[in-house]
Structure 1
């Protein structure tokens, strides 16, 4: 079995068309067909079946595609690691993060890092808590910011880099909006605007309300901090958000009040795959992050 056969097979499988695959590979169609035929003969199975002018994977072809892609991905990573070993200043970092960190924290740390290492490239992927852990475990990303930091997970490991307080947000005409601080149970009769299920801030707020002695009444749910802020500013309810989600980005901003009891906070961590050595450029960025949050990071 040859590397070229795997390349041709994967390209045909993705495009479902031999001629288009040959054009992308810059080789003759006959060369692609010949290599696919040899691969099928060696395996003793049919990997494709004809479907009009296109081709379609057989069930065994679908199984083989997963393995072939994994082999090619491993090879690509090996080549990348070699290049990074020779010069980590030109490597690439794949970074995951939740939406709530995308407006301020991620741009801030990446900009600071690129001042020192301007040729390093980044690929970003946003996701919710479970998908970020899966992306790291499946090697879809190298590192991920995550909140809250997982207490124990066999697939990933990491460090807490930041603990951030959550504040109550209220309509500006709310009776408590001018208070320096409030206790959370003072909002027990209010309608809450919360993140949708699956977002990590939702259980933090929910559990804080339970600790304060009440179950929050949910009036609206959203997937974005901007929407939650806007709904609260428009008088549709109250909520709790972390400080970095409260930077003024529009004319409609709610009142922000400190919560004195119970103390509500979230941890923010950086995770990586367990028991796996990081590529040099990723290790360099990881070390930078740990030092940055110890000595340089400011919330604003």
Structure 2
């Protein structure tokens, strides 16, 4: 340690206090575990054998700990030792800390267990009704004990959580173009124009997006992938959408459409919604790419790698739920 050759014994406790709790704990941690072994066995030689270290080295380590803390921890009686009152106080804290460390280590091992580890998986709200359950069902058929933390969010928030390490993988649209992320396309989904059943265009099967340039739109909030796509496609059609109402979920938007409050560009509904008609858009080509994203270069656990490989194997079939 940097201070050993420059500090007098009486200066060490004050120096440790100046270093701050994190640095001081890191310096003391090895000797605290050694002290705990001696304290439990009340015998330096047996503790040294247990720790597979020379007895003189262990004796010096405990003595150095006492010097660093500025208090006697052990009363030596020949080859045996007894805890002082200060030693008993410290031993209780050390044993609780060591037990907590072991629990943490066990939890970390459990996260990476190939058979029963955990995958933190984020996905779009519109993927949660059918696509994601189908993926999980298929994967769990071969990996029945793997656990999942599922997060539904909009693209920007999910990518932030992915970078922060809160998520392992994200099912996103549009695919991010960032040097710190890997994104693999999986499938393409058609977006339809949802109109009220009594709308002037409801009897049509196909329309051009420019035909609703003057209509009020209902849309998800900015930051959601669908909002960005709406603005892009409308821009390609030569207009800026007039958004009258904003929501967070496709089914909420369909309810607003059914109430006659506007039109919406949405993925297909799995179940026909009364009061809503979905129209094919012929110009521009309203499609969205859906893909899987993860952080480039970040190591992944075996269960995460297995699920990533499974999802990638569904390329071109992601939206097939049979």
TM-score (normalizing by structure 2): 0.66
Distance 2:209 2:274 in 1: 23
Distance 2:155 2:185 in 1: 15
Partner of 1:247: 270
Partner of 1:205: 230
- Mapping 1:108-123, distance limit 5 Å: 108-123=134-149
Structure 2: gaps spanning 5 or more residues: 1-25, 33-88
Distance 1:144 1:239 in 2: 25
Q: Rg bigger for which structure?
A: 2
**What is the aligned length?**
237
C-alpha contact (below 8 Å) 1:149/1:160 kept by paired residues: yes
C-alpha contact (below 8 Å) 2:187/2:317 kept by paired residues: no
Partner of 2:21: none
Partner of 1:271: 293
Distance 1:284 1:268 in 2: 20
Which of these residues, 201, 205, 212, is aligned with residue 176 of structure 1? 201
Partner of 1:162: 187
C-alpha contact (below 8 Å) 1:136/1:156 kept by paired residues: no
Structure 1: gaps spanning 5 or more residues: 6-29, 39-70
C-alpha contact (below 8 Å) 1:205/1:240 kept by paired residues: yes
1:93 has 2:119 as partner = yes
Q: Structure 1 213/294 Cα, relative in aligned 2: closer, same or farther at 3 Å?
A: closer
Distance 1:275 1:177 in 2: 50
Distance 1:76 1:225 in 2: 41
Tell me by how many angstroms 1:186 deviates.
0.7
Partner of 1:258: 280
Distance 1:135 1:290 in 2: 21
Q: Structure 1 235/269 Cα, relative in aligned 2: closer, same or farther at 3 Å?
A: same
Partner of 1:219: 244
C-alpha contact (below 8 Å) 1:191/1:237 kept by paired residues: yes
TM-score (normalizing by structure 1): 0.70
Which of these residues, 303, 310, 313, is aligned with residue 288 of structure 1? 310
CA offsets per residue over residues 251-279 of structure 1, 9 Å max, x none? 54510000000111111111111112321
Distance 1:178 1:77 in 2: 58
Distance 1:218 1:32 in 2: 65
Tell me by how many angstroms 1:180 deviates.
1.5
Tell me by how many angstroms 1:80 deviates.
3.6
Partner of 1:232: 257
C-alpha contact (below 8 Å) 2:134/2:321 kept by paired residues: no
Give the aligned CA root-mean-square deviation in angstroms.
Answer: 3.1
Which of these residues, 140, 158, 168, is aligned with residue 142 of structure 1? 168
C-alpha contact (below 8 Å) 2:131/2:318 kept by paired residues: no
Distance 2:149 2:143 in 1: 15
Distance 1:205 1:141 in 2: 27
- Mapping 1:26-45, distance limit 5 Å: 34=93
Distance 1:104 1:227 in 2: 17
Q: Structure 1 206/131 Cα, relative in aligned 2: closer, same or farther at 3 Å?
A: same
Partner of 1:131: 157
- Alignment partner of 2:157: what SS? helix
Tell me by how many angstroms 1:209 deviates.
1.0
